[in-house]
Copies of this chain bind each other. A is one copy, B any other.
């Protein structure tokens, strides 16, 4: 096989990349850690964070993010992209102010940063609409409607270029969604499945709140003064190195990784979780053609349920810990993957409970576990970030809007539960940094 011949090499590469990433960061400015969304929220409220939106920060963040993503850790790129796009917007507006006085007013500056945030999320996933809405929800309290139009404009063109580039690059034949799904459209789901969707929503609310709690506990532990943390503060490279070592060792595909689909990159992971097969039906029989990378989820001796549950538990704490590392890292993508896995688990359980599908009007409609995975992904990211526009991001990412109502119900339920239990991940980070 391609992967896994050289365990030592992979671990070393992972550690090296994480360290390069972290040191790039540290050398330039300590404030570049993490996603950047909490800082942007603070700046848009009127707090001046010096040197946060400079060209130097831009270079450091881009290099740091590239290295961080290359390390294979469960970290995302959407938060750092918000920061990077805001820096671009700020620097560009400073440059433009030589030509036009419009760019010098403080109101104009806030407008430009708001639009920058919108573009950041939009071009990261190629989801202009969801990107604008998500960035409004996470960064603003009061929003000037004129910026909605501007954000939409900028995000559409960035998403457009992002998708056109992949066409020119021959990655895609035409402009389509990033994680395109192919669920049937004539009867996407039955009303009798709604309780299952509601359960996904409520469970994701609890899981999301627990994720924020776990993330905060790790940060608080690292700050508590004792022998261990004093040692870690002195030798700043040790914490990321140890985390990387543990995570890469556990996900090593020929080792424990074979029980948690460790071979899959985040993008493959999402594509396979959203696929159109019913895994519990396939497992045990010869794998059908066209399964593609989803085949990694199948282990000859271990049930699909065990693998999904192991994946969920392992990735859950890995994501919560990894996002506390002092590297540029977003939590959106890891949480999205977790949500998709949880939704898939519920979908596969439903497919086992109703093996012949659900009877309606004399026709048996098969359960689509992939649809549950999409709903789970939207609900869990919604719960962690306290936003509802993750549903829009999901429609744009999958290119299908057929599950709109159950998804919105699930996202709203997840938000109700999570907002009652914990602050959003970004507000939780703002609270420490104060």
Q: Measuring CB to CB, which residues of chain A are less than 8 angstroms from any residue of chain B?
A: 128-129, 133, 136-137, 140-146, 148-149, 152-153, 156, 159-160, 163-164, 167, 173-177, 180, 182, 185-191, 360-361, 388, 391-392, 395-396, 399-402, 404-405, 408-409, 412, 415
Contacts and interface: CB of A to CB of B under 8 A. Distances in A.
Contacts of A176: 185-188, 402
What is the copy number of this chain in the assembly?
2
Nearest to A144: B142
Closest 8 CB pairs of A and B: A156-B408, A401-B401, A143-B143, A152-B388, A175-B405, A140-B145, A142-B142, A395-B401
Nearest to A156: B408
Nearest to A365: B174
Contacts of A182: 185
Contact of A167 (B167, B191, B400): B191
Given A388-B152, A395-B395, A399-B185, A404 B174 contact: no
A311 to B, nearest CB: 29
Contact of A174 (B190, B391, B415): B190
Q: Which of A141, A191, A361 has the most CB of B within 10 A?
A: A191
Given A360-B174, A401-B401, A137 B148 contact: yes
26 contacts: A128-B404, A128-B408, A129-B392, A133-B133, A136-B148, A140-B145, A141-B145, A142-B142, A142-B144, A143-B144, A143-B145, A149-B415, A156-B409, A160-B409, A173-B360, A174-B191, A175-B189, A176-B188, A177-B401, A177-B404, A185-B399, A185-B400, A395-B395, A395-B401, A396-B401, A399-B401
B141 A144 contact: yes
A388 B133 CA distance: 13
A145 B137 contact: yes
A289 to B, nearest CB: 18
Contacts of A174: 187-191, 360
A133 B130 CA distance: 12
Nearest to A137: B145
Contacts of A146: 141
A285 to B, nearest CB: 28
B185 A129 contact: no
Nearest to A403: B175
Contacts of A402: 176-177, 399
B140 A412 contact: no
A173 to B, nearest CB: 6
B141 A136 contact: no
A404 B142 contact: no
Given A142-B144, A149-B415, A404-B396, A185 B180 contact: yes
A395 to B, nearest CB: 5
